[in-house]
Amino acid sequence: MSARIADWLFDLGNSRLKGAWLDGRTLSNPVSLAWDASEFDTELRTQLQQWPAPDRILIASVVAASRVDRLRTMLQAWPQAQSHWLSSPRQGCGITNRYRVPERLGIDRFLAMAAARDIAQGASVVVVGCGTALTLDAVDADGVQQEGMIAPSPELMLRALHAATAIDDTNPAAFASGSTDDSARALRQGCTRAAAALVQWYHARQCDSNVPPLYLHGGGSAALRESLEGEAAARARLINDAVLRGLVLWAAQK
């Protein structure tokens, strides 16, 4: 293990753990592991042992306690480091949080807004996360969070249809990954187009004399972007590792 000292950053999402160590403002040696990976603990431990020793560990988590405990146990190997499990503040990273109880705003949403506004150099932005859920947030030019929304992502819509209908009984290919079956295409198109319509409507609501850029992040963001039309499509940009990029901003302010 290197003798260097560094900040470690972790994004614990519903599907994956992402992490990196911070070299200045650069995310170094990133790791991304699905929680259900068969060698999750071994692969994560191997990766962390190659990073510089941590002085401070910043963790943004939206996952269940059982998954949090897996990382806590792993980090016991570095007892000298200060671990910070973050929650959304009233103000920070250029964002003013308008939730009545600030910490109830998901830390992933807060950090993604911060990352998007930083990329836009302080301009107003619309930020959409497409993972397990579809999250829609807006930030005005003063950094004030506007009314947000949470809806099922296209993937979650598909899973709900799978659980609540008998489509699978009469057509086993309908929900198969990569299937070219007509029902499979209809289901995927319907769910993706429904999400795209909500994103377009939400983006249009934020337009006045200014048309804000639309930043998309999360595992389903690329497919969602392909389904957008009009101003939303023209203004859409993808952000890779939005939560980690927000954590870089958090690390710089503390």
Between CA 122 and CA 143 the distance in angstroms is 7
Instruction: Work out the angle between the directed axes of helices 65-75 and 40-48 (0-180°, nearest 10).
Output: 40
Longest distance between any two alpha carbons in the chain, whole Å: 60
* Annotated catalytic residue, options 108, 140, 181, 182: 108
The vertex-132 CA angle with 22 and 158, nearest 5°, equals 150
Local structure of 12: helix, strand or coil: strand
Active site residue 241: no
For 6, list phi and psi in degrees, rounded to 5.
-150, 165
Dihedral of the CA atoms 148, 18, 96, 90 (nearest 10)?
110
- Reported as half-sphere exposure (CB side, CA atoms, 13 A), residue 217 has a value of 24
| Nearest CA-CA partner of 153 in 161, 164, 145 | 161
**DSSP secondary structure string, 71-137?**
HHHHHTT-TTSEEEE----SEETTEE---SSGGGS-HHHHHHHHHHHHHTTT--EEEEEESSEEEEE
Tokens 């510089």: give the residue: 52
Which residues are identified as catalytic? 108
